[in-house]
Amino acid sequence: MPPLRTALLQSSGRLGDTAGNLKQLDEEAARAAQGGAGLLVTSEMFLTGYALDLQDVPGLAEEADGPSAVAIGEIARRHGIAVLYGYPERSGGAVYNAAQLIGPDGTALANYRKTHLFGCFEQDAFTPGDTPVVQADLNGLRVGIMICYDVEFPENVRAHALAGTDLLLVPTAQMHPFQFVAEQLVPVRAFENQMYIAYVNRTGPEGEFEFVGLSCLASPDGVTRTRAGRGEELVFGVADPELLAASRENNPYLRDRRPGLYASLV
């Protein structure tokens, strides 16, 4: 299998401006495809912005097959690139903090609802998802999806490892003073679970929050293959199946587990 060149779009977009954010996504998808990427990953809630007023969230939320999903499907198809985007999903009477993966042909491949909601804003605005492992196949890799706070729970990432995830996509809204998550925790998660992790953050001030950037692609050998700075940026990294296979052979965490000793965890 050839390596999957992956573009990480570190941007907060425009708060409350879905049309403007779709325009930016179209432009960045073109740049990513021109840079040889087969996958573009955006930040948490990229479609609408994160720091929304609570009363605005239901009106900005869309169904998984709503008009923005159709527009992003067309963007993906036109540029021949898969797109993972964060958005507020409306389903029945509930609203979820969600992320959807669209294939390069414009087809929806997977939709994930954030399972661990962070802080009062998220807990007031959203319903937590109840499916921890959501995956799709892309370019010969098993791709999984999480959102921000989810990756800070080791059980969550280990569940993906046991389900065979090769590349974990984590759109995020990581804020000051928790930048150690991007700098230290994410590369460790990649190593201990023997997978690639694409962690894609927002940046700059937004409402009461200060997002820290530092998006990265961490590899299963614990190396950070690409790292953004603190501003808006499009960076590229590669998920290499050969490196993944070699790393899994040399690092036996998953083979050496003793699940019978871990009953107290559940």
- pLDDT per residue, tens digit, the chain (266 aa), is 899 999 999 999 999 999 999 999 999 999 999 999 999 999 999 999 999 999 999 999 999 999 999 999 999 999 999 999 999 999 999 999 999 999 999 999 999 999 999 999 999 999 999 999 999 999 999 999 999 999 999 999 999 999 999 999 999 999 999 999 999 999 999 999 999 999 999 999 998 999 999 999 999 999 999 999 999 999 999 999 999 999 999 999 999 999 999 989 87
Residue of 28, 62, 89, 114 marked active site: 114
Closest by CA to 169, choosing from 6, 12, 16, is 6
Q: Who's near 130: CB < 8 A, 6+ residues apart?
A: 113, 115
Catalytic annotation, pick one of 28, 44, 62, 89: 44
CA pair distance 257, 77, nearest whole angstrom: 42
The reported pTM is 0.98
148 is catalytic: yes
Distance CA 183, CA 205 (A): 20
* Residue 90 and residue 23 in contact, taking contact as beta carbons nearer than 8 Å: no
From the candidates 148, 152, 206, 216, give the one annotated as an active-site residue: 148
